[in-house]
Amino acid sequence: MTLSSGRWAAVYFCAAVLLSLFAYWLSLPPSALPATAPDTEFSAERAMAHIEATCQEPHPAGSVANDVVCDYIIARLKEWDIEKEVIHEPHTRGGNSVTWQRAVLARIRGTAPTKAFAADAHFDSVPYGPGAADDMSGIAAMLEALRALKASPPMKNDVIFCFADQEETGGDGARAFILHPWFKDVGIMLGLETRGTKGPGLMFETSDHNGWIIRQLAKAGVSPRATSIMFDFYDRMPFGSDFGQYKRLVPGYNVAYIDNFCYYHTRLDNPENVNRNSLQHHGVYTLGLARHFGEIPLDGNLYAPNASYFNVLGDWMLVYPGGWGWPLAVLALLLFQAVLIGGVAMGALRPWRVLGAFLAVLGAAVLSALLWAPGAAMVFMRFREAALYQNNAYCLSFALMALAVIFFTVSSLHGRIRPAEWIAGGMVPWVVLLLLFQLFMPGGAYIALFTLLFGTLSLAV
């Protein structure tokens, strides 16, 4: 590699690093607002006071501490003069099993309601953690959003919030809401969850036929972080939440922040570890979506064919019908084929060198995997606790190792394979990935689709 080409490689590498850091910065949650923020705005500092007041100890369903938390929620609703219903009644689960269903419902009525916007979070914790993030952060976000809505001019549609109990033990609180007469008025639903203590609020799950609600999310001004691959991926996972019951009945979204997963369901899920910016993002979703859906008709058909969607730059989302997946895939494949044929015809691409580039890229990927597997096994067998708490650092180290393998592969073949041939050969795996995504996980096909399209564009110019 000549000095000149080496300098260009360094420039490209630095540009890639800077772009990655910029993309990471754009993905961060909004900054927390102080308690001095206007009464009509959501303040993470004000919401944090609710978490600190209720999460000094675990409060699982059925405990005295859980009753104290429930009473705290009811007291805040009384203080703000918000209409409420308290559900606390026995429920038979089958056989000889009987439990209590409990939920606290709050409602702000609109001036010309069609259907209501509803939100849900649960106030019970696991027995071995205070549950500050899971899920008192959702409860606190709803309380602060209700306070802000009460201080604001009335909206057209009703807003109904469900403070559910017993999510950790099977979702009986959400089931109580579904059986309550108010649920018949719900037009769209928001679930608030966490699997960590920090990070941006990810809209990771929706009801089926989500085309209309995704388009509304994109223009609601709530700094969404969403991608359709999460929708497809989560649908295949053995997880559940209250939202799993709601999404079969009404359209809606489920939002969670998931960084610091190692604190999830442990004693470290305490008020000190709840990130204020993440709490602010929960509030932005809750208050922003309540105001958005509070002013538009919700009595029509809110379902549309599933969409493909992802964040492009910060808050801006690209949304297009999922039904466009195969036509766009075929178009991308035809364009790639045409550019390949044109490149060979003009002598810019040599078929055997393109094949060599493809095999080199494939070999680098296989070698990276072979290096990663024993390294990961060693980390998890010998340093399991460190792996859980430093998982981001380990993931970064493995990514850098793979990058080193790729640099070694490219530099060792420098001069034999032209840059255009590297691009052409490197695009072939994305052709395979595009077809696999379309067949088995269409919500993630955009990853391969746009990689292939931009790669083809770079070849064409």
Radius of gyration of the chain (CA): 25
Mean pLDDT of all residues in 291-308: 97
Could you report the per-residue pLDDT of 157-200, keeping only the tens digit for each? 999 999 999 999 999 999 999 999 999 999 999 999 999 999 99
Cα 274 to chain centroid, rounded: 18
pLDDT reading at 349 higher than 80: yes
HSE toward the beta carbon, residue 75, CA cutoff 13 A: 9
Mean pLDDT of all residues in 225-230: 96
Query: What contacts 133, CB < 8 A, 6 or more positions away?
Result: 194, 196, 197, 257, 263, 264, 269, 273, 274, 278
* Count of residues making up the chain: 461
Give CA–CA dist 433/365, Å, rounded: 14
Give residue 398's pLDDT.
82
Could you report the per-residue pLDDT of 101-150, keeping only the tens digit for each? 999 999 999 999 999 999 999 999 999 999 999 999 999 999 999 999 99
With a pLDDT cut of 70, the percent of the chain lying above it is 95
Q: Find the helix or strand (DSSP H, E) in which 264 lies.
A: none
HSE toward the beta carbon, residue 395, CA cutoff 13 A: 5
pLDDT tier at 92, thresholds 50, 70, 90: confident
Which of these CATH numbers, 3.40.50.970, 3.20.20.70, 3.40.630.10, 1.10.3720.10, describes 29-304? 3.40.630.10
Give residue 3's pLDDT.
46
Burial-class residue 425 by CB neighbours within 10 Å (0-12, 13-18, 19+). Answer: buried
Domain boundaries, the chain: 29-304, 323-460
pLDDT reading at 94 higher than 90: no
Could you report the per-residue pLDDT of 321-340, keeping only the tens digit for each? 999 999 999 999 999 999 99
Give residue 112's pLDDT.
96
Give residue 6's pLDDT.
60
Give residue 1's pLDDT.
43
Query: What contacts 194, CB < 8 A, 6 or more positions away?
Result: 133, 134, 135, 137, 138, 256, 257, 258, 264, 278
Could you report the per-residue pLDDT of 36-90, keeping only the tens digit for each? 999 999 999 999 999 999 999 999 999 999 999 999 999 999 999 999 999 998 8
Mean pLDDT of all residues in 335-363: 94
Could you report the per-residue pLDDT of 378-435, keeping only the tens digit for each? 777 776 666 566 677 777 888 888 888 888 888 888 789 998 999 999 999 999 999 9
**Nearest CA among 314, 328, 281 for reference residue 442:** 328
Give CA–CA dist 56/129, Å, rounded: 10
Could you report the per-residue pLDDT of 427-457, keeping only the tens digit for each? 999 999 999 999 999 999 999 999 999 999 9
Give residue 2's pLDDT.
46
- Contact criterion met (CB below 8 Å) for 171 and 100: no
pLDDT tier at 240, thresholds 50, 70, 90: confident
Mean pLDDT across the chain: 92
Structure tokens at 46: 């004000």
Give residue 12's pLDDT.
74
